[in-house]
């Protein structure tokens, strides 16, 4: 099971854990990015009472727009030195269709406008895998998968988690705490295959705005400092 740490003072000051986190009241430890799209921090999606803030990443009315939030760069994460634990709570308000098609990526990737060269992430597009979430594994442009998680995308909030082991040789994918896929080969590992962390949406067909909501996102890794 993935170790999920609460945002307590004890965890935040633990010298053995490096942690990036935001409840999406603001970018906090993350950076917004967009190409013809936009990001807006809002409280409009707080009707269930559990959300301090939500980032709305929108493609606006642009057929090739993208938008999201993530690490400051796409080379901040290097597997093979420590266990990496990623978590994001996201919602797709309107699913992708043939007339208004888009993709969503959640997890580790070195590209933020399409599939990555190096990535370990959740990937959704209605035209692939019957609209189910996929585990996308890529290293130096070589694709392993994407693999079927067995979970069909819907319009509700879900928690997406990925743990990459300290050796950088295996990744476990969880949705709402349930293990949905385990990769044991083909991961990008080492400094030459550095990647980043993000949640983002990319439009490919149609000019009706589509959005991805991100409620919270965190990355933790063990350190020796």
pLDDT at 49: 67
Assign 3-state DSSP to the chain and report helix, strand, coil percentages, each to 5: 5, 50, 45
215, 90 contact by CB (below 8 A)? yes
pLDDT at 16 (0 to 100): 81
Q: Are 118 and 138 in contact (CB under 8 A)?
A: yes
Average pLDDT over the chain reads 90
What span, in angstroms and rounded, lies between the C-alpha atoms of 85 and 221? 6
* Confidence at 10, pLDDT banded by 50, 70, 90: very low
As a whole number of angstroms, the distance between CA 99 and CA 23 comes to 33
- Here the tokens at position 89 are 């709570």
**What letters, b where the CB count within 10 A reaches 16 and e where it falls short, cover 47-75?**
eeeebebbbbbbbbebeebbbbbbbeebe
Taken in order of first residue, the domains within the chain and their CATH numbers are 18-222 (2.60.120.560)
Distance between CA atoms of residues 149 and 111, nearest Å: 22
Reported as a single tens digit per residue, the pLDDT across 157-186 is 999 999 999 999 999 999 999 999 999 999
Task: pLDDT band for 144, please (50, 70, 90 cuts).
Answer: confident
Neighbours of 191 (CB within 10 A): 10
What does the pLDDT look like over 34-85, one tens digit per residue? Answer: 999 999 998 766 666 678 899 999 999 999 999 999 999 999 999 998 999 9
pLDDT of residue 75: 93
What is the total residue count of the chain?
Answer: 225
Residue 87: closest CA among 181, 20, 187 = 20
């Amino acid at each position: 099971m993935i170790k999920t740490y609460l945002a307590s003072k004890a965890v935040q000051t633990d010298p053995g854990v490096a942690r990036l986190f935001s409840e999406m009241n603001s970018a906090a430890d993350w950076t917004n990015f967009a190409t013809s799209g936009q990001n807006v921090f809002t409280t409009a999606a707080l009707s269930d009472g559990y959300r301090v803030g939500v980032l709305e990443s929108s493609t606006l009315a642009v057929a090739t727009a993208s938008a999201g939030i993530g690490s400051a760069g796409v080379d901040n994460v290097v597997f093979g030195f420590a266990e990496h634990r990623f978590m994001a709570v996201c919602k797709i308000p309107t699913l992708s269709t043939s007339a208004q098609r888009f993709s969503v990526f959640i997890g580790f990737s070195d590209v933020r406008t399409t599939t990555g060269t190096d990535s370990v992430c959740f990937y959704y597009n209605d035209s692939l895998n019957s609209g189910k979430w996929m585990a996308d594994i890529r290293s130096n442009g070589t694709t392993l998968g994407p693999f079927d998680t067995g979970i069909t995308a819907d319009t509700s909030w879900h928690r997406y988690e990925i743990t990459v082991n300290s050796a950088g040789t295996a990744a476990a994918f969880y949705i709402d705490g349930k293990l949905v896929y385990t990769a044991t080969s083909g991961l990008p590992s080492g400094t030459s295959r550095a990647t980043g962390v993000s949640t983002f949406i990319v439009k490919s067909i149609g000019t009706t705005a589509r959005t991805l909501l991100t409620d919270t996102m965190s990355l933790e890794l063990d350190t020796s400092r």
